[in-house]
Structure 1
Amino acid sequence: MTYDLAVWEGESPRDDVEAGSAYDELYERYLESEDVAVPPSARIERYVEVLIERYPEDDHDGYRSPWASPPLIDEASGPMVYLVMSYSRAEEASEYAAQLARSHGLVCFDPQGETLRP
């Protein structure tokens, strides 16, 4: 079981409905499309780098990575990254991911609950 978050560049949506629409459009355009691979933007790349500084992608010395699908950068395209976390580590890692997104001026959205993450 996993917990997912979507993080993207752009204007902060007014509400969950607007965020859901933006998410659907960005996901289809950048993550679902297999036509052309789009490299992640510099801001998304930096965001991912900071995430893995805090939560490394590899398991070692009893440490269990929260990421269900490393490498994280492979889940990024253009202005968006889709984070897939193991449910057992999701509470802690998603809280940090949401706070970090805010500090980087990014939007953080919970696609399961269809809500913005504060």
Structure 2
Amino acid sequence: MSFDLAVWHQPTAAEEAARKYAALTSPEPVVIPLHPRAVAYHRELTARYPELTDVPVEDLGSCPWSCALTVAGDGVVMSLSWSAPDAVVSYVQELAGRHGMVLYDPQDATVYPPSGGVE
């Protein structure tokens, strides 16, 4: 089992976030260029928590990801295993704030603006 989180650089109202998330996770490829914030976010996130494909087989049990991260347009979508430590989720949110990105939790449709407050 896993749960998803997504970040993107544009401020988004709660009612728009579901559409934005759907666009980022659509099977149709995103045709806009990668935004520098999304690339920088992904680079810094995977420096601490490497992509699933970069984790040695013997360490897969400690990897927080349940599949590869998706960098599309101006966003990054992550699927975390339920056993991922709370510290990973905290870092995902902290990093979003540092990069001026919105964090979206599609499980309960919550939008966390970069300031850390809930919209």
TM-score relative to the length of structure 2 = 0.77
Q: State the aligned residue count.
A: 109
**Aligned equivalent of 1:65:** 63
Counterpart of 1:59, as a letter, is V
Q: Which has the higher contact order (CA 8 A, sep 6+)?
A: 1
Alpha-carbon RMSD across the aligned residues, in angstroms, is: 2.1
The equivalent position to 1:92 in structure 2, one of 84, 87, 90, is: 87
Task: Tell me the amino acid that sits aligned with residue 27 of structure 1.
Answer: Y
C-alpha spacing 1:23/1:113, structure 2 compared with 1 (3 Å): same
Task: Indicate how the Cα distance of structure 1 residues 26 and 90 shifts in structure 2: closer, same or farther if over 3 A, else same.
Answer: farther
Q: Which blocks of at least 5 consecutive residues in structure 1 are unaligned? A: none
Structure 2: segments with no counterpart, 5+ residues: none
Mark the CA change 1:5 to 1:30 in structure 2 (over 3 Å): closer, same or farther.
closer
Alignment partners' CA distance in 2, 1:113 and 1:47: 23
Q: Which residue is 2:17 aligned to?
A: 23
Q: Measure, in 1, the Cα distance between the counterparts of 2:85 and 2:4.
A: 8
TM-score (ref. length: structure 1): 0.78
